[in-house]
Amino acid sequence: MTFDFAFILSTLPAFLKAVGVTLQVGLIAIATSLVVALINAPILLYRIPVLHRLVALYVELARNTPLLIQLFFVYFALPALGVKISGFAAAIITMTFLGGAYLTEVLRAGVEAVPVAQLESGRSIGLSELQLLRHVILPQAGLLSLPALFANFIFLLKETTVVSAVAVPEILYTTKSYIALYYKTYEMLAVMTLICVLLFLPLSLLLSRLERRLQHGQFGS
């Protein structure tokens, strides 16, 4: 078993591109998921008639089914209904469907985690509902949701590996293609692992630190 460094070097441009695609899919999906969540969370929190039931149904459907099935449905079943889309578009749509549901829950839980006493205190000193929202609820809810929000961002970034199944040329798909073409399994697995560790390990370590930091910064502790 020899380790072919020259071959690894020759694949580096492709892998750089693959990291770019991973980040692109991940970041776009995070942004669109956040938009979905910012629309949905208030609907749940203010219990807007009919709509809040639909949002709740959406959240349960998205959270209790595998991303891979959602992806295959969008990519393989929608064309049968007359909607033809690329792998990349399918990836973004599916990850937004999944991520939107997770982030909706995060934001809702964040607002609900603000202690009731905070609301009562705010009202008792005569804040209007809007002032209450702006000066009491949102700052605290934002801080409380931050670790979970960040954890879900990392989760979504890691889930981009699944979209390799519909030929989006991210890290895993690139690895598979090179293995299939050149049989350099050993080298490609090493490169793939190294990229994942370099890309995701700092993020997950940062998350652990953020969680601990915010635990100390919580109110009443």
Binding footprint of other proteins on the chain (CB under 8 A): 1, 60-61, 63-70, 72-73, 76-77, 79-81, 158-159, 161-162, 164-165, 172, 175-176, 179, 185-186, 189, 192-193, 196-197, 200-201, 203-205
Residue 106 Cβ vs other proteins, minimum distance, rounded to whole Å: 14
Which of residues 185 and 218 has its CB atom nearest to other proteins in the complex? 185
Other C-beta atoms lying within 10 Å of the C-beta of residue 186: 13
Residue 31 Cβ vs other proteins, minimum distance, rounded to whole Å: 20
As a whole number of Å, the CA-based R_g of the chain is 21
Which of residues 65 and 218 has its CB atom nearest to other proteins in the complex? 65
Residue 159 Cβ vs other proteins, minimum distance, rounded to whole Å: 7
Which of residues 35 and 201 has its CB atom nearest to other proteins in the complex? 201
**Are 101 and 62 a contacting pair, CB within 8 Å?**
yes
- SS3 call for 173: helix
Which of residues 74 and 122 has its CB atom nearest to other proteins in the complex? 74
Mention every residue, 6+ apart, whose C-beta is less than 8 A from residue 169. 17, 18, 21, 177
d(CA 88, CA 70): 14
Which of residues 50 and 81 has its CB atom nearest to other proteins in the complex? 81
- SS3 call for 6: helix
Residue 164 Cβ vs other proteins, minimum distance, rounded to whole Å: 7
Residue 80 Cβ vs other proteins, minimum distance, rounded to whole Å: 5
Which of residues 27 and 132 has its CB atom nearest to other proteins in the complex? 27
Tell which residue, 135, 56, 67, 136, has the closest CA to residue 97: 67
**Are 103 and 29 a contacting pair, CB within 8 Å?**
no
Tell which residue, 63, 87, 96, 170, has the closest CA to residue 79: 87
d(CA 199, CA 78): 33
Residue 191 Cβ vs other proteins, minimum distance, rounded to whole Å: 12
Which of residues 88 and 178 has its CB atom nearest to other proteins in the complex? 178
d(CA 115, CA 94): 35
Residue 201 Cβ vs other proteins, minimum distance, rounded to whole Å: 4
